[in-house]
């Protein structure tokens, strides 16, 4: 049924009104794009490393400023002897700031934005970079940018949300984010490619929110069929958008099913050694399962010992690349023990292999995010 008022009126509307109505979609588009254009990417302070004895900083037209002094040189040899710093052999006081019109290389690795040496102690090398460039340099460390665009876009929104949330929480500290896996792995310009830049462009400024607040969004490789609650992995309280959802999309993952050892069985003596025990393991029993069926508590018995571990601790002791998840069962036979499981990673939040499948089936990034974080929204970040 057509509800357009223009088809129901018998009088011809004024030409001016027609033109205005015709222009309406264009006006809406202009207003929407202006909102995105108004977005100012916040600057992040990303810790690259502790300051070593020698560091080379270089960029065409590189400028530096320290303690009221400044200089210009395409390459700077920065020395630190544990007490004082020197630039190209001349003593300077920290902090020290480097700027250039393009990326600045630190020991050969290029980073967008500026480089600062914070006084410490101990002094640290910091990349001051806008969040969009940061996300571009993270995507390929957390997902493959060659995956379907909607899955990469969902990941980009999560990376941006995490970064801005940490920036707010750590604004009194010396830096907002560490470039390692303790936050998100950031490779600077060297980690960028066309696909990661395109994803950041498509999702520019978009963050995951719950009732207008930034929503922390965990993710993992493959849930094995159902995602896990954060409280089951790390304790604490689950947030409203942190729910366990049936996935059913990640069967293509290489570790949807896994077995350890890959063939045969792990001997009772070898398993004891892997767990930090002496003698031989007599039994391994899952004594408590989480609400989603993962191993919450495991009891290991040897002849003279009984060890109770959380499922997470069991994975840690035996190895994250042996027990790929806590969704596991244990069998014992004359040759030893066999662990069989499903999925890889902690299982909380977005399942990357599930997101990949949903993207292949045509779902948009926002639909994928709303599936794994029920009730959350994707919005343009509007500032602190
Ligand atoms: Zn899944």
CA 355 / ligand 1 centre spacing (Å): 8
Using DSSP bridges, classify how beta strands 177-178 and 206-210 pair: parallel, antiparallel or unpaired: unpaired
The reported pLDDT for the residue numbered 384 is 75
pLDDT over threshold 90, residue 222: yes
Q: Quote the ligand 1 centre to 14 CA distance (angstroms).
A: 56
The answer to whether the CB of 130 falls within 8 A of the CB of 113 is yes
Q: Are 76 and 57 in contact (CB under 8 A)?
A: yes
User: Residue 11: what pLDDT?
Assistant: 38
| CA 218 to ligand 1 center in whole angstroms | 13
- Tell me the CA–centroid distance for residue 362 and ligand 1, in Å: 17
Query: What does the pLDDT average to over 82-103?
Result: 94
Distance, CA 256 to ligand 1 centroid (Å)? Answer: 8
**pLDDT for 17 beyond 90:** no
pLDDT at 4 over 80: no
| Å from CA of 248 to ligand 1 middle | 6
**Per residue in 102-129, pLDDT tens?**
999 999 999 999 999 999 888 999 999 9
Mean pLDDT of 5-31: 42
- The fraction of the chain above a pLDDT of 90, given in percent, is 85
Distance in angstroms between the alpha carbons of the first and the last residue of the chain: 45
The Å distance, Cα 374 to ligand 1 centre, comes to: 15
pLDDT in tens, 263-290: 999 999 999 999 999 999 999 999 999 9
Distances in Å between the Cα of 349 and the Cα atoms of 30, 86, 199 are: 35, 47, 21
pLDDT for 68 equals 87
**pLDDT tens readout for residues 330-350:** 999 999 999 999 999 999 999
What's the CA-to-centroid distance between 237 and ligand 1, angstroms?
A: 22
Task: Categorize the per-residue pLDDT at 383 as very low, low, confident or very high, splitting at 50, 70 and 90.
Answer: confident
**pTM assigned to the model:** 0.86
The C-alpha atoms of residue 339 and residue 300 are separated, in whole angstroms, by: 13
Taking the centre of ligand 1 as the mean of its atom positions, its distance from the CA of residue 212, in whole angstroms, is 27
The residues, ordered by sequence, that sit 6+ positions from 117 with a Cβ below 8 Å of its Cβ are: 51, 78, 85, 94, 95, 96, 97, 123, 124, 125, 126
Rounded to the nearest whole angstrom, what is the distance from the C-alpha of residue 368 to the centroid of ligand 1? 12
Comparing 23-27, 54-58, 255-259, 264-268, the range with the smallest average pLDDT is 23-27
pLDDT at position 313 over 80: yes
The pLDDT of 4-31, averaged and rounded, is 42
């Amino acid at each position: 049924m057509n509800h357009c008022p223009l088809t129901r009126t018998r009088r011809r509307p004024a030409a001016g009104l027609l033109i205005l109505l015709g222009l309406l979609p264009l006006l809406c588009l202009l207003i929407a794009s202006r909102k995105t254009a108004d977005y100012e990417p916040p600057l992040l302070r990303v810790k690259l490393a502790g300051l070593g004895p020698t560091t080379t900083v270089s960029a065409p037209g590189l400028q530096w400023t320290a303690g009221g002094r400044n200089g210009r040189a395409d390459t700077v040899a920065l020395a630190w002897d544990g007490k004082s710093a020197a630039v190209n052999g001349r003593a300077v006081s920290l902090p020290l700031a480097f700027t250039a019109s393009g990326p600045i290389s630190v020991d050969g690795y290029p980073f967008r934005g500026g480089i600062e040496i914070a006084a410490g102690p101990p002094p640290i090398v910091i990349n001051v970079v806008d969040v969009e460039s940061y996300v571009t340099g993270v995507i390929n460390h957390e997902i493959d940018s060659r995956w379907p665009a909607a899955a990469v876009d969902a990941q980009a929104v999560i990376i941006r949300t995490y970064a801005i949330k940490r920036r707010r929480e750590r604004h009194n500290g010396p830096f907002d984010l560490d470039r390692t896996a303790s936050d998100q792995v950031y490779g600077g310009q060297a980690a960028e490619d066309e696909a990661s830049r395109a994803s950041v462009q498509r999702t520019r400024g978009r963050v995951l929110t719950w009732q207008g607040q930034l929503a922390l969004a965990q993710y993992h490789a493959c849930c094995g069929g159902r995602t896990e609650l954060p409280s089951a992995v790390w304790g604490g309280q689950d947030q409203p958008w942190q729910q366990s959802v049936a996935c059913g999309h990640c069967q293509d993952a290489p570790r949807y099913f896994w077995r350890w050892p890959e063939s045969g069985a792990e001997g009772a003596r070898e398993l004891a050694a892997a767990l930090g025990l002496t003698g031989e393991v007599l039994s391994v029993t899952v004594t408590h399962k989480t609400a989603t069926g993962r191993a919450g508590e495991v009891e290991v018995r040897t002849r003279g010992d009984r060890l109770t571990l959380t499922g997470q601790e069991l994975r840690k002791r035996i190895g994250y690349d042996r027990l790929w998840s806590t969704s596991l069962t244990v069998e014992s036979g004359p040759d030893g023990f066999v662990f069989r499981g499903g999925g890889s990673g902690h299982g909380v939040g977005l399942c990357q292999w599930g997101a990949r499948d949903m993207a292949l089936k045509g779902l948009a990034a926002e639909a994928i995010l709303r599936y794994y974080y029920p009730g959350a929204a994707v919005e343009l970040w509007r500032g602190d």
